[in-house]
């Protein structure tokens, strides 16, 4: 499995960081973040406790890193999707599609991000955790800005209905990410079907200026 | 403050249960569920530890009870909102409006529900916690069914576009509850403004059968 989704530029080829993050994501998925013991992740990766704690001082530190990388991936995927589109509507469609064009590991990463997003609300007492939390919050604001700006352009150009762009951005994002709560790879709906449905819904919301009676 | 939102038929007039739940909700809101010590809730209510543990054996037991009552309130509000409506569209509008016609305590309860919803995914080792978790899961399924059935009726009657009703129900609910992630009573948008926006969005999604190019 490619672990690009949890790899950073600073990770050298011998770094165990990406492998630890991938193993932790597996365990969080299997039994939930709350239930796992941080130290058991070392066994799964095949490293000792000292090595584990060299990379991550706690379960929360690891979780916040997984979340930051998920947000980084979303931000990058958005920017890549909208470049070279020739209208705001095409950009909106491409951005929604990109939100679902994911590897199984990235799907799992998004589930973990959404399931634990409330951890971003309160200050952490550990410095390294608080640092990751701050970066996550900046990325959340950046992603909301990406979508707001896209919507504002479409409103200015007459493609989208005039609305509060931030409210519309948060609503589209809320709809898009709500899928990670219930989607299962072995469930009855494919990600492709869901993506087409959500894309259509987002277009209706952005373009429809008044309810039809 | 009315604490009807966390009161049950079985609570007699001398029961401390509703007051404990209300105090816990305040603390969860102030510092987050993860950070609070369960025993400190007793001080806030002005009762001893023994009384506290008589009602709730753990922080998770209390959280799951708050969540179950939030889901109970949503289910009841939905059914009350849609009765006596004369079309599926009117029922949809009323159901969305009802989701935001809340007291400040209910708003806080919904924030807690949404912030901690992932706790419902994994089995609890405590019997009382597991019992509450099971009831929560039943209510989630019931609420999804409420919305699916409303949508199916509207599709059958030609008021709504033909779509997968469960996918549409989950999407509308995902959009509706996403508000609890970012809404703050002292923020720039009123709940009234947000409710009108989301109502309009839900109508567009349910009635719009094809994207407009």
What mean pLDDT comes out for the span B63-71?
97
Pick the residue of A30, A118, A136, A143 with the most B CBs within 10 A to test the interface with B by mutation.
A118
Whole-angstrom Cα distance, residue B88 to residue A77? 38
CATH superfamily of this structure's domain A61-207? Tetracycline Repressor, domain 2 (1.10.357.10)
Would you state the pLDDT for residue B1? 46
Whole-angstrom Cα distance, residue A128 to residue B65? 34
Per-residue pLDDT of A200-211, as tens digits, reads 999 999 998 654
Per-residue pLDDT of A20-36, as tens digits, reads 999 999 988 888 888 88
Would you state the pLDDT for residue A212? 46
Whole-angstrom Cα distance, residue B177 to residue B8? 24
Per-residue pLDDT of B108-149, as tens digits, reads 999 999 999 999 988 998 999 999 999 999 999 999 999 999
CB count in 10 Å sphere of residue B137: 14
Domain ranges within chain B, ordered by starting residue = 58-207
Structure tokens at B137: 């899961």
Residues of chain A with Cβ-Cβ distance to B212 below 8 Å are 203-204, 207-208
Domain B58-207 architecture:
Orthogonal Bundle (1.10)
Spatial contact of A181 and B174, defined as CB atoms under 8 Å apart: yes
What are the Cα distances from residue A198, in Å, to A15, A179, A194, B81? 38, 9, 6, 27
Percent of chain B with pLDDT over 70: 97
Question: Within the 10-39 window of chain B, which residues sit less than 8 Å (CB to CB) from chain A?
Answer: 31-35
Residue A90, classified by CB atoms within 10 Å of its CB into exposed (0-12), middle (13-18) or buried (19+), is: middle
Residue of A nearest to B175 (CA): A175
The answer to whether residue A67 scores a pLDDT higher than 70 is yes
Spatial contact of B6 and B63, defined as CB atoms under 8 Å apart: no
Sign of CA dihedral B94, B95, B96, B101: positive
């Amino acid at each position: 499995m490619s672990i690009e989704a949890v790899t950073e530029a600073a990770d050298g080829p011998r770094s165990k960081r990406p492998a630890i993050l991938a193993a932790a994501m597996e365990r969080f998925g299997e039994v939930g973040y709350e239930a796992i013991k941080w130290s058991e992740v070392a066994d799964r990766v095949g490293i000792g406790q000292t090595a584990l704690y060299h990379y991550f001082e706690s379960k929360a530190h690891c979780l916040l890193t997984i979340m930051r990388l998920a947000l980084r991936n979303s931000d990058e995927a958005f920017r890549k999707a909208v470049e070279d589109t020739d209208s705001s509507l095409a950009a909106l469609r491409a951005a929604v599609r990109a939100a679902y064009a994911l590897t199984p590991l990235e799907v799992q990463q998004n589930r973990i991000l959404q399931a634990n997003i409330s951890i971003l609300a309160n200050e952490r007492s550990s410095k390294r955790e608080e640092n990751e939390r701050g970066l996550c919050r900046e990325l959340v604001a950046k992603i909301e800005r990406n979508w707001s700006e896209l919507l504002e352009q479409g409103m200015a150009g007459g493609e989208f209905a005039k609305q509060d762009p931030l409210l519309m951005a948060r609503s589209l994002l809320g709809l898009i990410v709500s899928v990670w709560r219930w989607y299962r790879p072995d469930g009855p709906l494919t990600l492709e079907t869901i993506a087409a449905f959500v894309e259509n819904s987002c277009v209706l919301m952005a373009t429809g200026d008044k309810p039809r009676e």
